């Protein structure tokens, strides 16, 4: 018997940010995209450059094993579930970046004048950080020659850590953000959409 291989280099990806924006946020309740290619609502703000590590995601699905007398495992009980996203926004002079990191109500902007540039004032305090909706977008030109798309949508994301930032000439000053996803009305903490970019009738190789 000859077994067909599942190996397909056209299905591997290493996403880059889209030119339409890669990390975007808006207030909770803003209409969300429900596919990898749907246009993102214009209310969403783009955070611009993210550092080379991109978006890091962690899923915590902690389990507790239950054993019986004699040592046999009879169950593994899920104790909790959470999703955490982290990334570093590099455009420190962008008011949207600072608002995401320190809270929108803590950021005020004074427009530029003939004698001074745009002034951004940030109040750093113990107020609870914002709960927002998030969209993370990437694309990748596959080995098959198609533009694949990937999108992560977090309907309700709580920023849980104020950014720690350094002032040094040896590295770019960044806003490091940690977001924890909260369940939406359907009980989902987030949504992943991927698209291989291959339309009907597209030539995918061979004779």
pLDDT, tens digit, 9 for 90 and up, residues 141-154: 998 899 999 999 99
Q: What is the DSSP letter of 166?
A: -
Range in 10-14, 21-25, 37-41, 92-96 the model is least confident about:
10-14
- Does the pTM surpass 0.85? The reply is yes
Q: Which tens digit of pLDDT belongs to each residue from 63-91?
A: 999 999 999 999 999 999 999 999 999 99
Asked if pLDDT for residue 206 goes beyond 90, the answer is: no
CATH 2.60.120 fits 14-60+79-195, yes or no: no
Asked if pLDDT for residue 204 goes beyond 80, the answer is: no
Contacts 24+ apart (CB under 8 A), 14-19: 14/140, 15/54, 15/138, 15/139, 15/140, 15/150, 16/138, 16/139, 16/140, 17/50, 17/54, 17/137, 17/138, 18/137, 18/138, 18/139
């Amino acid at each position: 018997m000859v077994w067909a291989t599942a190996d397909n280099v056209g299905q591997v990806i290493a996403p880059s940010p889209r030119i339409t924006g890669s990390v975007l946020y808006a207030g909770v309740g803003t209409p969300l995209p429900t596919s990898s290619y749907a246009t993102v609502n214009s209310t969403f703000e783009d955070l611009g450059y993210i550092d080379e590590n991109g978006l890091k995601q962690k899923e915590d699905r902690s389990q507790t094993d239950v054993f019986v007398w004699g040592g046999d495992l009879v169950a593994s009980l899920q104790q909790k579930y959470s999703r955490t996203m982290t990334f570093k926004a590099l455009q420190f002079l962008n008011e949207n970046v600072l608002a995401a990191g320190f809270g929108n109500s803590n950021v005020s902007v004074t427009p530029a004048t003939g004698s001074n540039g745009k002034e951004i004032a940030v109040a750093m305090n113990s107020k609870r950080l914002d709960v927002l909706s998030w969209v993370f977008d990437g694309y990748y030109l596959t080995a098959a020659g198609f533009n694949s798309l990937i999108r992560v949508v977090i309907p309700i994301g709580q920023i849980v850590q104020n950014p720690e930032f350094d002032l040094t000439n040896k590295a770019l000053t960044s806003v490091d953000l940690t977001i924890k996803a909260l369940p939406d009305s359907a009980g989902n903490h987030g949504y992943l959409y991927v698209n291989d970019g291959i339309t009907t009738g597209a030539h995918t190789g061979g004779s």
